[in-house]
Chains A and B, each alone.
Chain A
Amino acid sequence: MKIGVISSMVPHIDGGYRMFVNQLVPELERAGHVVEVVWLPFSSDPKTMLSEMLGFRMMNLDDIFDLVICCRPPAHVVKHRRKVVWFIHHERVFYDLWDSEHNTIPKSAYWKGFRAQLMRADTKCLREAHAVFSNSQVVADRLMAFNAIAAEVLYPPLAGDVQFDSNAHGAELAFVCRIEEHKRQHLAVKAMSFTKSPVRLRIAGRSQNPNYLESLQSFVELNRLRDRITLDHRWISEGEKRHLLANALGVVYIPVDDDSYGYPTLEGACAERPIVTVSDAGGVGEFVEDGISGLITAPTPEALGEAFDRLWDDRMLAAKLGEGALRRINELSIRWDHVVARLTA
């Protein structure tokens, strides 16, 4: 089949969707398809958003492709007789974040009308689709709530070789992702001041936010945690990350209400590490089951610190939860052959 993978993009900004698309292409090709990616720039600026979407819709893709797979929105608005959508998020300020403090759009008649129009457009374009998938249950629930669209959850697998090394469970927890406020490294750092065991924490990742990084550093200094917390604020290579995970006690991933379980969770699971998360981390809870594939605590430093201690005190538990995490990948069919089969079914 001639397949077009359509996705919006923002130049110079990486995101999970790019990894997904760049890995999806060779997987589709391996299955015998001919694939071309169409990246369409998209500003997400409400002032021009609707006309940009109209432009997406004006493309005539019917003559070129037998099937189009639409990834990052608003790719789902393109027209094609056989359109499959892998939906990863709404324009959230106009959806679930409309009534939250994250929304800076005035609730005037104009913007209310705009919101209704955007929702109508999304719903109409999603209804045209041959099939709609989502990258998580959270997003599927929103599709149902706001657009009355039933979406099948199709979890994004890791790119590359998923055979991770896995050694004995060490003394250090690994928290590997971008260092940003909404990833809540501060919560993990504070939790360390409540631990009773000598458990260690390693935070690794790049930060775009120097103030946040500084606040983490000063907390570590003030609370004399320097010998138990390593703050490694740089992008670490794939090989280094895998080495780190292979020997870690467990993986910490505690974002604020994330849409998906996140690659850190999946990477930890591949390395048979238990995943420590919190109850309000969003999609992470779809993957982690408390006491089976990891630990889920209340989002407080005290509770999180207790979970850190539990793993340090009981390596048998860490090993058992690590096995559970690996098993969970299979349970949820997080595999490329499954993704390819469903998208091209």
Chain B
Amino acid sequence: MAPFVWGGAEELAVHFVRNLRIMGHEAELLRLPFQWDPFDNIPAEIARFKTMRLPNVDRVISMKFPAYLLPIENQTTWLIHQYRQAYDLWSSPYSNLPHDWRGELVRDVIRSHDDHYFVNQRKLFTISSEVSRRLKEFNGVDAPALRAPINDPHLFIGGDSYDYIIAPGRINASKRQYLLVEAMQYLPSTARLIVAGPPETEADAMRLRNSVAEFNLEDRVILDMRFLDREELAEYVNHAVAVAYLPYHEDSYGYVTMEAFQASKPVITTCDAGELLELVTDEHTGLVAEPDPQSLAACIAQLFYDRKQAAEMGAAGHALWRSKNITWEANISTLLGLD
């Protein structure tokens, strides 16, 4: 971890520990700081992790580089990600490792430690098929993906559909809520869209507000742009006709998709959304549009004006999602080797 940084990985770890306790285990979260800046100190950081001892535990589950390098017996790794700058991000602009002999040396040190650990680690899982794929490509190891489950399935119980489509979640350019707002101009005035979630930047919020004004959609598009608590969010989803979620090339199903199906709502997405297309199949569990406003408008209209079909797709989505058995109970059994 890095002090003062809190994100998806931290949330996942907290929920993981909470669910371990629910299942009757004594569990504690340990967040060990790792500093990757300056880059040439990374080998010393690896050495530092190797000096650590972890007393009084029966089992350790490590989730990130370099936590799994602690010298511990009886360790299971549930990998969120490796040090990506040494792998798939090496040649991207996001790498902090310079492309000279020093950067290459640090990269190779990281890779050799990983290779050594992974090749001897039988209890190795990842959080997505993309992470598994990278592990195979770069380190030559096979590791099954155990996807992160939803954390409060009891809230997403479904319910009567009121007259709106919901687009929940963080608002930013790569989630493309703006395409949905633009699509609304092509729909009859009875159709309604609610965008609910915290905007990442003021520019993201502005873009949606401007679109609404430009196409005179004030009475048809509700922009509820703030951090909603879980109950509020579930209430929106439970009473929607359908859920719209348009991430760009995402490496996971996304909580939005999983929660929609938990609540038996069909999902409208685009053909470039990434891994969630494994769950959202066109005309079966939802509708897959081209990433443009007209194509999306057609999908929204189809579900909005045929509630019976929307309900059937929602039910199919629910059945498909449940058949995957992505739950904390199942994951924890696998991680602890109890199944």
Give the B-binding residues of A (Cβ under 8 A): 2, 4, 10-13, 34, 36, 38-45, 48, 51-52, 54-55, 58-60, 63-65
Say if the beta carbon of B57 comes within 8 Å of chain A. Answer: yes
Within the complex, what minimum Cβ distance (angstroms) separates A58 from chain B?
4
Contact B31 A64, beta carbon cutoff 8 Å: no
Complex Cα distance, B56 from A63, in Å, reads: 32
Q: Does chain A have a CB within 8 A of B213?
A: no
* B337 interfacial by beta-carbon distance below 8 Å: no
A selection of 25 A-B contacts at a CB cut-off of 8 Å is A2-B4, A4-B3, A11-B55, A11-B56, A11-B57, A12-B26, A12-B28, A12-B56, A13-B56, A34-B4, A36-B3, A38-B31, A38-B33, A41-B30, A41-B52, A41-B53, A41-B54, A43-B53, A55-B51, A58-B51, A63-B37, A64-B3, A64-B33, A64-B35, A65-B3
A36 to B32, CA, bound (A): 12
**Are A10 and B56 in touch, CB under 8 angstroms?**
yes
Q: Is residue B91 contacting chain A, with contact meaning CB distance below 8 A? A: no
Q: Once the chains are docked, how many angstroms separate the CA of A38 from the CA of B34?
A: 11
Binary flags per residue of B33-76, CB closer than 8 Å to A gives 1, else 0: 10101000100110111011111110000000000000000000
Give the interface centre of B30, B41, B55 by most chain A CB atoms within 10 Å. Answer: B55
4 closest residue pairs by CB, A with B? A55-B51, A43-B53, A36-B3, A58-B48
How close is B169's CB to chain A, nearest CB, in angstroms?
27
Q: B3 contacts A58, CB within 8 Å?
A: no
> How many residues of chain B get a CB closer than 8 Å to chain A's CBs?
23
**Which residues of chain A come closer than 8 Å to B51, judged between CB atoms?**
51-52, 54-55, 58
Q: Please, how many angstroms separate the alpha-carbon atoms of A145 and B99 in the complex?
A: 54
Chain A positions within 8 Å of B45 at CB level: 58
Does A45 contact B41, Cβ atoms closer than 8 Å? Answer: no
B113 to chain A, nearest CB (A): 16
Question: Do A12 and B57 touch (CB < 8 A)?
Answer: yes
Taking CB as reference atom, which chain B residue is nearest A44? B55
Nearest A-chain residue to B49, judged by Cβ? A55
In the complex, chain B residues whose CB is within 8 Å of the CB of A65: 3
Nearest CB of chain B from residue A143's CB, rounded to whole Å: 26
CB neighbours of A63 from chain B (8 A)? 35, 37
Chain A residues in 8 Å Cβ range of B48: 55, 58-59
Shortest beta-carbon distance, A2 to chain B, in Å? 7
Residue of A nearest to B55 (CB): A43
Nearest B residue to A48, CB-CB: B53
| Most chain B C-beta atoms within 10 Å of own C-beta, residue among A2, A39, A41 | A41
A41 contacts across to B, CB distance below 8 A: 30, 52-55
Question: Cβ of A11: which chain B residues have Cβ within 8 Å of it?
Answer: 28, 30, 54-57
- Given the known interface contacts A11-B55, A11-B56, A55-B51, the answer about A39 and B30 at a Cβ–Cβ threshold of 8 Å is yes
For the complex with contacts A12-B28, A55-B52, A60-B35, 19 further pairs of A-B residues with Cβ separation under 8 Å are A10-B55, A10-B56, A11-B57, A36-B3, A36-B4, A38-B31, A41-B55, A44-B55, A45-B55, A51-B51, A54-B51, A58-B44, A58-B47, A59-B48, A60-B41, A63-B35, A64-B4, A64-B33, A65-B3
Task: Kindly report which residue of chain B lies nearest to residue A39, judged by CB atoms.
Answer: B30
Residues of B within 8 A of A44 (CB): 55
Main secondary structure of the interface of A (DSSP, over half): loop
Nearest Cβ distance between residue B17 and chain A, in whole angstroms?
12
In the assembly, what is the distance between CA of A257 and CA of B44, in Å? Answer: 42
Shortest Cβ distance from B285 into chain A, in angstroms? 42
Chain B residues with CB under 8 Å of A10's CB are 55-56
Cβ-defined contact, B31 with A39, below 8 A: yes
Chain B residues with Cβ below 8 Å from A45 are 53, 55
Residues in A with CB closer than 8 Å to B30 are 11, 39, 41
Distance between Cα atoms of A209 and B9 in the complex (Å): 40
Which residues of A have CB within 8 Å of B31?
38-39
C-alpha spacing A36/B31, complex, angstroms: 11
Closest to B60 in A: A11
**Bound form: Cα–Cα A42–B31 in Å:** 14
Report the bound CA distance from A305 to B179 in whole Å. Answer: 81
Residue of B nearest to A60 (CB): B35
CB distance from A49 to the nearest CB of B (A): 9
A52:B52 contact, CB within 8 angstroms: yes
Cα distance A58–B47 in the bound complex, in angstroms: 9
Closest Cβ of chain A: how far from B41's Cβ, in Å?
Answer: 7
**With A and B bound together, what is the CA distance between A85 and B334 in angstroms?**
43
Cα distance A60–B40 when bound, in Å?
Answer: 13
Closest A residue to B35 using CB positions: A60
Task: Report the minimum CB–CB distance from B52 to chain A (whole Å).
Answer: 6
A60 contacts which chain B residues (CB < 8 A)? 35, 41
CB distance from B25 to the nearest CB of A (A): 11
Query: Looking across the interface, which residue of chain B has its beta carbon closest to that of A64?
Result: B3
Contact B53 A42 (CB under 8 A): yes
A334 and B4 alpha carbons, distance in the complex (Å) = 30
Which B residues lie within 8 Å of A48 (CB)?
Answer: 53
A59–B77 Cα distance when bound, in Å, is 24
CA distance A54 to B50 in the complex (A): 11
Chain B residues 302 to 330 lying within 8 A of chain A, measured CB to CB, are none
B28 / chain A contacts, CB cutoff of 8 Å: 11-12
Within 8 A of A (CB), among B177-229: none
* B324 CB to nearest chain A CB (Å): 33
What's the least CB distance linking A303 to chain B, in Å?
39
Contact B55 A40 (CB under 8 A): no
Scoring B31, B41, B48, B57 by chain A CB atoms within 10 A of each residue's CB, the highest score goes to B48
Q: Which of B33, B53, B55 contacts A59 (CB 8 A)?
A: B33
Query: In the complex, what distance in Å separates the CA atom of A339 from the CA atom of B53?
Result: 31
Give Cα distance in the complex from A54 to B52, angstroms.
9
A39 to B54, CA, bound (A): 12
Residues of chain A within 8 A of B33, CB atoms compared: 38, 59, 64
A263 to chain B, nearest CB (A): 22
Interfacial chain A residues near B4, Cβ < 8 Å: 2, 34, 36, 64
- CA A39 to CA B32, docked complex, whole Å: 7
Which of A40, A51, A60, A63 has the largest number of chain B CB atoms within 10 A? Answer: A60
The listed residue with most B CB atoms (<10 A of its CB), out of A2, A11, A58, is A11
Q: Contacts of B47 on A, CB cut-off 8 Å? A: 58
Closest residue of chain A to B41, judged by CB?
Answer: A60
Give Cα A43–Cα B33 distance, bound, in whole angstroms: 18
Cβ distance B3 to chain A, nearest Cβ, rounded Å:
4
